[in-house]
């Protein structure tokens, strides 16, 4: 993988900064997951609830499948809980801190759907709402949205073009989270960098993969119109702790750490 000069220069700066102390509560270590099966010691499958009135589907274990090197999260018209639709989500059982977060995924398509790779911690874990996001909105899969929440405050969205479309094939999404910056990458290229301390999360977080829909957030996600089952597919997800060894060829962490 050949990186542009701008990306190479940033990676050199990050490496020179050296390792920083992990956040309090960060108990997860480096891993690479290629989904030959679902490792339930690592992953918790969301099942039987939704995240609020804005979500038109219920998390369902039946919407999560892992086999043959691929995780599939589905959205389908199947009654679940108090919703007409069922959708899939997995989250790590452990919390992770500074390091490189990477996923290779193919998004779902369709207005009102959201294919997401993100880290999150919040009130259910007795912590402030901190979050770092990659989200593909099914209304326009030519772009991916990156964003951060700090103590529940968002408003840091940036849309990045995905050549060929996020739903037409697999793309590599990554963010490098350090104490003084977050750098976002698409297919190995730096696409966004945040250095303002007011926009940098500080709390260790769990890692999530999810596919969900909405009937109400149409200004953001598009007007929902069910056109048949939809799927989000993931071939690999990895976390490399800051300063840790590179874990696979092509990893952004190979150059950062």
Asked if residue 20 lies in contact with residue 200, where contact means CB atoms within 8 angstroms, the answer is no
φ and ψ of 231, to 5 deg: -135, 150
Angle at 67 between CA 65 and CA 68, to 5 degrees: 150
Report, in this order, helix, strand and coil percent for the chain, each rounded to 5. 10, 45, 45
Active-site residue list: 131, 135
Which run of H or of E encompasses 181? strand 181-186
d(CA 144, CA 165): 9
């Amino acid at each position: 993988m050949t990186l542009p000069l701008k990306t190479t220069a940033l990676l050199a700066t990050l490496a020179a900064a050296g390792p920083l102390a992990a956040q309090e509560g960060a108990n997860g270590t480096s891993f690479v997951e290629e989904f030959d099966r679902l490792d339930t010691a690592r992953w918790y499958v969301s099942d039987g609830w939704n995240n609020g009135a804005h979500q038109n589907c219920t998390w369902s274990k039946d919407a999560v499948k892992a086999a043959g090197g691929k995780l599939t999260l589905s959205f389908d018209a199947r009654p679940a809980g108090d919703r007409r639709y069922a959708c899939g989500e997995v989250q790590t059982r452990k919390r992770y801190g500074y390091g490189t977060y990477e996923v290779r995924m193919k998004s779902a398509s369709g207005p009102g759907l959201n294919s997401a790779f993100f880290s999150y911690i919040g009130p259910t874990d007795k912590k402030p709402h901190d979050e770092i996001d990659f989200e593909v909105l099914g209304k326009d899969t030519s772009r991916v949205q990156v964003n951060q929440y700090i103590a529940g405050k968002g408003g840091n969205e940036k849309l990045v073009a995905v050549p060929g479309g996020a739903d037409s094939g697999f793309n590599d999404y990554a963010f490098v989270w350090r104490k003084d910056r977050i750098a976002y990458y698409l297919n190995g290229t730096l696409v966004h960098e945040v250095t303002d301390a007011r926009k940098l999360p500080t709390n260790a977080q769990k890692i999530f993969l999810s596919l969900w829909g909405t009937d109400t957030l149409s200004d953001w996600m598009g007007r929902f119109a069910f056109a048949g089952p939809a799927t989000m597919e993931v071939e690999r997800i990895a976390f490399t702790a800051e300063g840790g060894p590179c874990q696979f060829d092509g990893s952004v962490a190979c150059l950062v750490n």
